[in-house]
Amino acid sequence: MARQKRSSKILEKAVRRAASINSIDPYLDLGNGLSLPAFSNLIEQMRTKENLYNTALSNLDKLYREMLETEGELADMTEHMLLGVATRYGKSSVEYGMAGGVPKSQRYKKRRGESLTANSEQPTIVTSLNNQNGNKPTVIS
């Protein structure tokens, strides 16, 4: 999705105001730096910066799309590299594990109704019910 480009309502209003003031006097100078040429110069600065900003957004969108494309290519090559190591050395090899794969001997199959953790690794639950009377907490394994 492309980033939304910016348009300035203030810039549009200033352009209309400059056109109206130009009909009074193209070189109107109200003092204190308030002159039509200075006003027109500031309008052009704003227009230039807005165009640069919108161009930068377009370039950023392009770079983002290119980055996503390269990221997809990298994901594919990463998978192919691991499969290449598996083809050369086997999925049970130390090399396969070194390349980031999980060797067959280290894989666990989950059976229906079982968790992957061993019984000795079950979490311990400590209850503090009725601990207000100084009783020791109950430990449930």
Torsion angles phi and psi, residue 100, rounded to 5: 110, 0
Torsion angles phi and psi, residue 88, rounded to 5: -75, -45
Q: Apex CA 104: angle with CA 100 and CA 107, to 5°?
A: 85
pLDDT at position 96: 92
49-53, 57-61, 113-117: lowest mean pLDDT where? 113-117
CA 68 from centroid of its chain's CA atoms: 11
This model's pTM is above 0.75? no
Digit-coded pLDDT (tens) for 108-137 = 766 676 665 555 555 556 555 555 555 565
User: Rounded CA gap, 101 and 82, in Å?
Assistant: 7
Digit-coded pLDDT (tens) for 65-114 = 999 999 999 999 999 999 999 999 999 999 999 999 998 878 776 667 66
Q: What are 83's two structure tokens? A: 């499969």
